[in-house]
Chains A and B, each alone.
Chain A
Amino acid sequence: MKAAALRLEAVEVRRSKKTVLQIPHLSIGNGEVLAVIGPNGAGKSTLLQVLALLEKPSRGRVFLNDQEVTPRSNLVSLRRHLALVFQEPLLFRGSVFDNVTLGLRIRGVSKRESKQRAEYWLSKLNIHTLASRSVTKLSAGEAQRVNLARSLVLNPEVFLLDEPFASLDPPTRTSLIEDMQHVLAETKVTAVFVTQDRAEALMIGERLAVMVDGRIVQMDTPEAVFARPATAEVAAFMGVENILAGRVLSGANGRSLVQVGDHQITTEETHVPGSELLICLRSEDITVSLPSEDGDLNSKPNVMKGRITRLGPLGAQCRVVVDCSVPLTALIPKQVFVGLSLSKGNEVLLTFKPRDVHAISMSRPTSVAENAT
């Protein structure tokens, strides 16, 4: 088991009599990269500021390297174990070099050492040619690289990132994410990475925490959260387009039959017969075919017939909305779309595998108490 670099116990942050953050337990292991994802106002930035020891929680306990942070703790000294990168670069007047060495000057590091460390990270982040340039002359991507270098040069034990790539254009974002992945793999620094972008979270995070309304509603590996979201909100945030209410008809031996509208859907999960649940089905897991191509409808599980109500081309893929008494959205490759000559009003068959169907119990609690790694 990894020792916890940061740990929160029963932490609550209240602002204007409203609870904006409520974390029963959160433990971030040494060297772990935790991605935190959630919609606007979910409390992600507040969580990061609590972890960065910049905001004192209204209630609860914060531990850094298993040492509790108390009112008597020397916050300045503790903060020097951490580094925080905001979404905006927040650079100060002066040159790139001045900005990158600011934290080192604050800590009284010698000029010689500062120069060596700054040159290393400027080079690592491909901005060594900009060292003497004024920060007012930087592009958004360059400015964010300077921001990252300013934090990395401090050799932090814990690296906290608050949506650092959110305001960048897609190519710059992709290149910075790749650089970030290398840096995190190389330094093995503990990191908490807040984002709204699930692709970023899946690429960078070893574990993924989903926040809604100030609570962590699910925490697991990114793959598990992606495949088995715990709530409808998580499912929607993780890009599940088809969320349908149903009732379990039968369930045993790792298989359940669920009544959804006029249809019966099979899932490779065991659920209690009679219970209400939400069926989650990713649009990319649905196959579209023409009725004439299909044999006996009843011999295969999870085949639904319906009429196309909406079509939306999306570059290499095409979104097809089909009314099967319940609306279902499928995402199919453009070649398939063209091959089938699909148009609005066409009758089609939708097929999906039982293992791709995930069901969320309606009685599931809305927050999770997460176990320490």
Chain B
Amino acid sequence: MDLIWEGIKEAIILLFQGDREVFSVVTTSLRVSLSAILICLLLGVPLGTFLGLAQYPGRRVVASFVNVGMGLPPVVVGLVVAVMLWRNGLFGFLGVMYTPNAMIIAQTVIALPIVTALTMAAIQQLNPKLRLQILALGSTKWQMFWILVREARLSILAATIAGFGAIISEVGASMMVGGNILGQTRVLTTATVMETSKGNFEVAIALGVILFALAYAVTLGLTLVQQRDTTP
């Protein structure tokens, strides 16, 4: 118990002292995970909306693949992305291995199925007649898509929260494709693992507390936006 308390105190000290190393780790964590979730929203929301609305053969099979994707183990994602980005890999020519961009790619792969699958479910939960009503109001197909996404925005925000929660807290993929390089690819999760392995439990707990606070702050912001829409 004392260890945890010391860790919390250490976290407060590290934050308020403006420790450069901690600041770098926090900003890298935020930059990587927010970039990844933004890409997931840009790709996953249209894809989930399309999958939720379109009628095509094998629709259920595609839906099951997207749903399976929600449970992808980050270590496996890290391994596959590392193999792809490795010097001799398929995308080795990009030269992004051990950079924040590689971590963004890996985190996008982890969160994209979550955002897509939950958006698909959100769109499918809407009354099917809404689509006809929007078209009957004279909308184009794009306007209809946009209005349906707006109508499902509470669930899509929940998808965003779930996706962000999954990537801000993952460690395996970030470690494998980022390499935990100080000032470049070290994020809160990889730093916590490293400090624990070195026996610096107080620092590790402090980093864990900061990670939790960070995840909570972002999620709180998204939740406030989400709940604002539920109040009359």
Contacts and interface: CB of A to CB of B under 8 A. Distances in A.
Interface of A: 49, 52, 54, 76, 79-80, 82-84, 86, 88, 90, 92-93, 102-103, 106-107, 133-134, 136-137, 150-151, 154
Contacts of B137: 83, 102-103, 106, 150-151, 154
A147 to B, nearest CB: 9
Specify which of A80, A133, A137 lies most central, judged by the most chain B CB atoms within 10 Å of its CB.
A80
B232 A93 contact: no
B132 interface: yes
Given A49-B132, A84-B133, A92 B151 contact: yes
Contacts of A137: 232
A103 B134 CA distance: 8
Given A106-B143, A136-B232, A137-B232, A90 B127 contact: yes
A93 B151 contact: yes
18 contacts: A79-B135, A79-B138, A82-B136, A83-B137, A84-B132, A88-B129, A90-B130, A90-B133, A92-B147, A92-B150, A92-B151, A93-B151, A93-B229, A103-B137, A106-B138, A106-B143, A107-B138, A150-B137
B125 interface: no
Given A93-B229, A134-B232, A52 B136 contact: yes
A92 B150 CA distance: 9
Interface residues of B, number: 19
Contacts, number: 53
Given A92-B147, A137-B232, A86 B133 contact: yes
A315 to B, nearest CB: 36
Contacts of A88: 127, 129
Contact of A54 (B135, B153, B229): B135
B196 interface: no
Contacts of B129: 86, 88, 90
B200 interface: no
Nearest to B135: A54
A82 B151 CA distance: 23
Given A88-B129, A93-B229, 11 more contacts: A49-B132, A76-B138, A79-B138, A84-B132, A88-B127, A92-B147, A103-B138, A106-B143, A136-B232, A137-B232, A151-B137
Contacts of B150: 92-93
Interface of B: 127, 129-130, 132-140, 143, 147, 150-151, 153, 229, 232
Contacts of A134: 232
A332 B153 CA distance: 58
Contacts of A93: 150-151, 153, 229
A92 B146 CA distance: 13
Contacts of B140: 76
Contacts of A107: 138
B76 to A, nearest CB: 39
B167 to A, nearest CB: 28
A92 B229 CA distance: 12
A101 B136 CA distance: 14
Contacts of A150: 137
